[in-house]
Structure 1
Amino acid sequence: MKLFLLYIKERMTWILFFSFFQLWLNILLTLDVTFANTSILYMNSTNLFLFLLFFLWRFFQETKFIKSVLEIPKGDLTFDQLIASLPEGESVYEKVLMDEFQEIVLLGKQELNDAHTTFLEERDQTLSWIHEMKTPLTSMKLMLDSVDDSTLKKKLEVEWLRLHMLLDQQLHKTRLPSIEKDNLIEDVNVERVIFKEIKELKPWCMERNIGFETIGLDRLVLTDQKWLSFIVRQLISNAVKYSKVHGEIRIFTTDDELGHLILSIQDEGVGMSQADLPRIFDKSFTGRVGRESTSSTGMGLYLAKNAAEKLGITISVISEVDFGSTFSLHFPLQNEMQQILGR
């Protein structure tokens, strides 16, 4: 029925032409005395009947092609199978249309393949550059151990840490599109991950005199350890960055009513406005607080959110200006994780 109504709309010019023709014919038969004995009703009925027959015949002829396109099971086919299953068309116009469409598809596929090749080359170059940068960073770390001036050493360690984290962030950003090929799902001890990340951030925490309180972290979760470490690293580094000097960060676990493990990272920092909260996971969004910090890139939370979604982890946040923020990771249950991996 929907297709028939669309066809009527498409052929409205036919209907208007027929109506105008009938109107003109009726005026002619009424005014011209030579047609005085002609039955107007008979003429109108005959013309209308013939027009309806023609209209229905054209409808069935012209909608065969459209119906065959609409009946293709799009969700069950690959792109190449979808293109191959398209009808060739019966009329000259339909065949010309399909030929042009096939050419456009081939050009589009070629451009897509070229773009994908370029992307892979750039990704490989970026990964190569990151790994090359790690060598001088490692050398710098060894050199820092030989610095005698403790004040200078602490400052250099903080700057080295920032450089290391930016490089690490770029590495995970490059690998994020292929995370499914890069992960290893296993039982991961939350406490070990947290303590390792806190240790990595030690120079920065000491500079700002920030302490940690950890509660109930000796828990196991089914996830990828490397990517979980990256997510936790972004959240803890954010907590350290926006905490007040001499502040404290609480890291603890709870369980919801369905048995999901929730890992929370709570700071007593500057917090975020309610206007900023809906956008904090957007790419390159820094917010009011971030714009006041030259070191904010707006990428950490964006990458953490995307990586978490790939692992079935949900990130939520509660924040208030001047009262700090609490970021929580909601881990999936084992059966939910299996469904995610089976996609």
Structure 2
Amino acid sequence: MESVFLKSLEENIDKEFTLDMLLAALPEGKSTFEKRLSAALDELFIVAKEELNNMRVEHLEENDRTLTWIHEVKTPLTSMKLMIDTVENSKVKKKLEVEWLRVHLLLDQQLHHTRLPSLEKDYLIEPINFDKIIPAEIKELQAWCMQKGIGFEIDLSKEEVLTDQKWLSFIVRQILSNAVKYSKENGEIQVFSQMDSSKHTILNIQDFGIGISSADLPRIFEKSFTGTTGRETIASTGMGLYLAKNAADKLGIDITVDSRVDNGSIFSLKFPLKNEMTRISGR
């Protein structure tokens, strides 16, 4: 028959306690065996806490090194852009601009990947109009769009949404770059907003490219998932949508996608109402 000590120990372990809470909740024990077991567990928890703190310090230091590296790489990347602008051969210039853009986007992904865990400390919630974001993000992808002959049809409402402009720009950037990547030559991408029956503003980004198979659809927001339908020949890290989804979740934005193979995809971003945003900010 289990003793009161073991039952109490089992109950505390089953709870979602931190190490400090577990240490405080450990029963002292009455018998010699119980006291020795309690002391051994105390020691194990203290060692575990020290190791966890060391890992946190190492993680923060690694993040700092990564951020420093990113900012150092931006300097030669900026110099390269200025050099590309001076290239006279238009064909060569367009190819260089697209390759430069690919490096720029990968660097941008890594920067936001590093900052994502501290997003709540970094964001500024304010009223944002899509006109402040969409044209700027499309312009960033201009060289790629020109290479593929892709045009845009934009129909944005004047309603404002409560969100962080910098992180929303990043989310839109990932979805737009995905739309360009998987669009067919001389295709079109539609960007439009609407309001649903519950007054939520929804931003839609629709392409008419290769689409996503029904088997891949449930996994497209998973880390490093690149899919199988038509993606084997296209370079992809599988990180863009993963980061976009994680950032959106922290901002209370609901991302959904509807897609069919060879018929393209439509990504929809549903923004929280003011009262919902207040609850999210207070987490």
User: Would the TM-score normalized by the shorter structure come out above 0.5?
Assistant: yes
Question: 2:70 matched to which residue of 1?
Answer: 130
Deviations 1:183-219 (A, max 9, x none): 1111111122111100000000000010000112433
SS of 1:275's equivalent?
coil
Distance in 1 (CA, whole Å) between partners of 2:25 and 2:175 is 48
- Report the alpha carbon displacement of residue 110 of structure 1 after superposing the two structures with TM: 1.3
Distance in 2 (CA, whole Å) between partners of 1:214 and 1:321 is 24
Fraction of identical pairs, as percent:
61
Query: Which residue of 70, 84, 89 corresponds with 1:144?
Result: 84
TM value normalised by structure 1: 0.79
Question: 1:325 matched to which residue of 2?
Answer: 265
Query: Which residue of 161, 164, 170 corresponds with 2:101?
Result: 161
- Report the alpha carbon displacement of residue 72 of structure 1 after superposing the two structures with TM: 10
Distance in 1 (CA, whole Å) between partners of 2:12 and 2:229 is 53
Partner AA of 2:65 in structure 1 = Q
SS of 1:288's equivalent?
coil
Do the aligned residues in 1 keep the contact of 2:12 with 2:25 (CA within 8 Å)?
no
Question: 1:113 matched to which residue of 2?
Answer: 53
Do the aligned residues in 1 keep the contact of 2:8 with 2:27 (CA within 8 Å)?
no
Distance in 2 (CA, whole Å) between partners of 1:247 and 1:198 is 15
Distance in 2 (CA, whole Å) between partners of 1:302 and 1:183 is 19
Question: 2:7 matched to which residue of 1?
Answer: 66
Distance in 1 (CA, whole Å) between partners of 2:236 and 2:230 is 5
The answer to whether residue 202 in structure 2 is matched with residue 262 in structure 1 is yes
Distance in 2 (CA, whole Å) between partners of 1:136 and 1:294 is 27
Query: Which residue of 255, 266, 273 corresponds with 1:315?
Result: 255
Structure-to-structure mapping, 1:43-62, within 5 angstroms:
62=3
Name the one with the larger helix percent.
Answer: 1
Evaluate the alpha carbon distance shift between residue 104 and residue 72 of structure 1 in structure 2; reply closer, same or farther with a 3 A threshold: closer
Structure-to-structure mapping, 1:129-278, within 5 angstroms:
129-278=69-218
RCO higher in 1 or 2 (8 Å CA, sep ≥ 6)?
Answer: 2
Count of aligned positions:
283
Partner AA of 2:4 in structure 1 = T
Distance in 1 (CA, whole Å) between partners of 2:15 and 2:261 is 49
Partner AA of 1:116 in structure 2 = R
SS of 1:287's equivalent?
coil
SS of 1:196's equivalent?
helix
SS of 1:249's equivalent?
strand
Considering only aligned residues, what root-mean-square deviation do their CA atoms show, in Å? 1.9
Distance in 2 (CA, whole Å) between partners of 1:322 and 1:294 is 16
- Report the alpha carbon displacement of residue 85 of structure 1 after superposing the two structures with TM: 3.1
- Report the alpha carbon displacement of residue 294 of structure 1 after superposing the two structures with TM: 4.1
TM value normalised by structure 2: 0.95
- Report the alpha carbon displacement of residue 66 of structure 1 after superposing the two structures with TM: 2.9
SS of 1:230's equivalent?
helix
5+ residue gaps, structure 1: 1-6, 11-61
Q: Which has the larger radius of gyration?
A: 1
Distance in 1 (CA, whole Å) between partners of 2:80 and 2:13 is 61
- Report the alpha carbon displacement of residue 120 of structure 1 after superposing the two structures with TM: 1.0
Do the aligned residues in 2 keep the contact of 1:69 with 1:86 (CA within 8 Å)?
no
- Report the alpha carbon displacement of residue 141 of structure 1 after superposing the two structures with TM: 1.0
Query: Which residue of 208, 221, 225 corresponds with 1:285?
Result: 225
- Report the alpha carbon displacement of residue 322 of structure 1 after superposing the two structures with TM: 0.4
